[in-house]
Chain A
Amino acid sequence: MKKGSQPTFEETAGTYIENAQLRRNIGHATKTIRDKRQLVVQELDDWEELREAGRQIKQKVMNNLDRYLLQLEKSVSKAGGVVHWAADAEDANRIITNLIKEKKGTDVVKVKSITTDEIRLNQALENEGIHALETDLAELIVQLAGDEPSHILVPAIHKNRAEIRELFKSKLNLKELSDEPADLAEAARLYLRKNFLKAKVGISGGNFAVAETGTVAVVESEGNGRMCTTLPDTLITVLGIEKIVPEWKDIEVFMQLLPRSSTAERMNPYNTFWTGTTEGDGPQKFHLVLLDNGRTNVLDDETGRQTLHCIRCSACLNVCPVYERTGGHAYHSVYPGPIGAILTPQLRGLDDRSAASLPYASSLCGACYEVCPVKINIPEVLLHLRNKVVLHQKKEGGFRQKTDPVHLAMKFLARAFSKRSRYERLQKMGRAGQWFYKKDGTISKLPGQLSKWTAIRDVKPVPEKTFREWWRDRK
Chain B
Amino acid sequence: MSSSRDKILQRIDQALGNRTDSTDDVVERRYHQISELTAQEKVNLFQERVDEYKAATERVSEGELPGKLKKLCEEAGIKKLVLPPGIDENWLSELPKSMTFLHDEPQPLSKTQLNESDAVLTNCFLGVAQTGTIILNAGPGQGRRVLTLLPDIHICVIRQDQIVGILPEAIRKLDQTVSESGAPVTFISGPSATSDIELDRVEGVHGPRKLHVFIISES
Interface string of B183-202 (1 = CB under 8 A from A): 11111111111111111101
| Residues of B close to A224: CB separation below 8 A | 205-206
> Is B44's beta carbon under 8 Å from chain A?
no
| Residues of B close to A184: CB separation below 8 A | 197
- Are the CB atoms of A252 and B171 closer together than 8 Å? yes
Q: Which of B167, B193, B205 has the most CB of A within 10 A?
A: B205
Restricting to A64-94, which residues have a CB under 8 Å from any CB of B? 64-70, 79, 84-87, 91
> Is B23's beta carbon under 8 Å from chain A?
yes
- Are the CB atoms of A241 and B8 closer together than 8 Å? yes
- Are the CB atoms of B115 and A68 closer together than 8 Å? no
> Is B11's beta carbon under 8 Å from chain A?
yes
> Interface residue tally of chain A, by bracket?
35 or more
CA distance A251 to B13 in the complex (A): 26
| Residues of A close to B168: CB separation below 8 A | 252
- Are the CB atoms of A296 and B138 closer together than 8 Å? no
| Residues of A close to B32: CB separation below 8 A | 46
> Is B178's beta carbon under 8 Å from chain A?
yes
> Is B219's beta carbon under 8 Å from chain A?
no
- Kindly report which residue of chain B lies nearest to residue A66, judged by CB atoms: B12
> How many residues of B are in contact with the other chain, CB < 8 A?
73
- Are the CB atoms of B21 and A67 closer together than 8 Å? yes
A269 is contacted by which of B49, B53, B144 (Cβ under 8 Å)? B53
> Is B37's beta carbon under 8 Å from chain A?
no
> Is A230's beta carbon under 8 Å from chain B?
yes
- Are the CB atoms of B196 and A141 closer together than 8 Å? yes
CA distance A378 to B206 in the complex (A): 36
Interface string of B117-141 (1 = CB under 8 A from A): 0000000000010111100001000
> Is A97's beta carbon under 8 Å from chain B?
no
CA distance A53 to B171 in the complex (A): 16
- Are the CB atoms of B205 and A137 closer together than 8 Å? yes
- Are the CB atoms of B191 and A269 closer together than 8 Å? yes
A246-B23 contact in complex given A53-B30, A157-B199, A281-B184, C-beta closer than 8 Å:
yes
> Is B86's beta carbon under 8 Å from chain A?
no
> Is A144's beta carbon under 8 Å from chain B?
no
- Are the CB atoms of A29 and B188 closer together than 8 Å? no
CA distance A143 to B27 in the complex (A): 42
Write the nearest CB–CB distance from B95 to chain A, whole angstroms.
26
- Are the CB atoms of A49 and B179 closer together than 8 Å? no
| Residues of A close to B4: CB separation below 8 A | 85-87, 91, 292
- Are the CB atoms of A278 and B31 closer together than 8 Å? no
- Are the CB atoms of B146 and A156 closer together than 8 Å? no
- Are the CB atoms of A50 and B182 closer together than 8 Å? no
- Are the CB atoms of A256 and B167 closer together than 8 Å? yes
- Are the CB atoms of B9 and A137 closer together than 8 Å? no
| Residues of B close to A68: CB separation below 8 A | 23
CA distance A25 to B1 in the complex (A): 45
Restricting to A134-192, which residues have a CB under 8 Å from any CB of B? 135-138, 141, 154-157, 160-161, 164, 181-182, 184-185, 188-189, 192
- Are the CB atoms of B27 and A269 closer together than 8 Å? no
Restricting to B87-112, which residues have a CB under 8 Å from any CB of A? 108, 111-112
CA distance A160 to B206 in the complex (A): 22
Can you spell out 24 A-B residue pairs with CB atoms less than 8 angstroms apart?
A46-B31, A46-B32, A53-B30, A56-B27, A56-B28, A57-B27, A66-B13, A70-B9, A79-B182, A95-B1, A156-B197, A161-B197, A185-B194, A185-B196, A212-B179, A213-B182, A227-B149, A249-B172, A255-B171, A256-B31, A274-B184, A281-B183, A296-B11, A299-B11
| A interface residues (Cβ-Cβ under 8 A, vs B) | 25, 28-29, 32-33, 46, 49-50, 52-53, 56-57, 60, 63-70, 79, 84-87, 91, 95, 135-138, 141, 154-157, 160-161, 164, 181-182, 184-185, 188-189, 192-193, 196-197, 210, 212-215, 221-224, 226-227, 230-231, 241, 246, 248-253, 255-256, 263, 265-276, 278, 280-282, 290, 292, 296-297, 299-300
